[in-house]
Chains A and B, each alone.
Chain A
Amino acid sequence: MEILNILICWVICWLNFVIIDTFFGLPEKPGVRGAKVIGEKIKKIGGDLNGGYFMGNIVCSPDASAGTLLASIMYYLMGVDGGILASFFVWIGNRLCADPGYAGTLGALSITLIIYLLSPFISPKYFIVGMVLAIFTIQGFEHRYASKLLGEIYRRLL
């Protein structure tokens, strides 16, 4: 039962941050300084340039992935107020990194809404581990295939 909950949260968190980040144009161009070099390094090992920019933007600025994690942490500890507080902190982080997009804020608010709607069935702590597993499949498992997948999603959606 626990494993099933973790798997459901994994899929929800993955879809939440990948869809929001793709719509805010993370794979399109390196939005913050430093994302470009990571994208080019990933292209050099045989990955996709747009997927590489996506991963570089996640590393260099708190985007919807960070918003999803921090909002689920704060929802677990404080309830709905915590989710809204987390979105405010992510917005401050976005401004500190000179990020023009507000993907992080929207990601935090949307996962707060999703956790609130699912709270009778799934405990918020499963969303925390679900988000860490989701970022593990993108950033930690295999950069070549992850960047190709993200680039493919970008070209299909937009």
Chain B
Amino acid sequence: MINEILGGIAVLMIIRIFLERSRARKLVYLCCLNFAFSALIALYVKYPAGGILAIVYFIFSTITSNAIASSLEKIYELEG
């Protein structure tokens, strides 16, 4: 039940990322996908190391989003 809900949300988010045109709003859907994915990692790998893996995955995907969003901001500033 739990894994099905999480997997369903992840698949729905992948479809929405494909359909979304705006690059900045793709990142918002990607954030939701990351949440679902790190929850799935922890539920499948039922050891404390799996939890550490989920945390590392989540925090570094957030840093990636941060980097992409700040580059987008720079680009929009340059374009005016």
Q: Is the interface of B mostly helix, strand, loop or mixed?
A: helix
Please determine whether B32 and A34 come into contact, CB atoms closer than 8 angstroms: no
Which one of A19-27, A112-120, A130-138, A149-157 is at the B interface? A130-138
Instruction: Provide the bound-state CA to CA distance between A55 and B65, in Å.
Output: 13
Q: Is the CB–CB distance between B5 and A70 below 8 Å?
A: no
Known: A59-B69, A77-B46, A77-B51. Is A69-B29 also a contact (CB below 8 A)? Answer: no
Contact between chains at A74 and B51 (CB < 8 Å): yes
Query: Complex formed: what's the CA distance from A6 to B3 in Å?
Result: 12
Q: What range describes how many residues of A lie at the interface?
A: 35 or more
- In the complex, the answer to whether A132 meets B65 with C-beta atoms within 8 Å is no
Inter-subunit contact A78/B62 (CB<8 Å): no
Q: Which residue of chain B lies nearest to A59 when distances are taken between CB atoms in the complex? A: B31
Q: Say whether, besides A69-B35, A140-B9, A128 and B2 are in contact (CB < 8 Å).
A: yes
Please state if A33 and B39 are interface contacts (CB–CB under 8 Å). no
Q: Which residues of A contact B (CB under 8 A)?
A: 2, 6, 32-38, 41-42, 45, 55-56, 58-62, 65-66, 69-70, 73-74, 76-78, 82, 86, 89-90, 92-93, 96-97, 125-126, 128-129, 131-133, 135-136, 139-140, 143
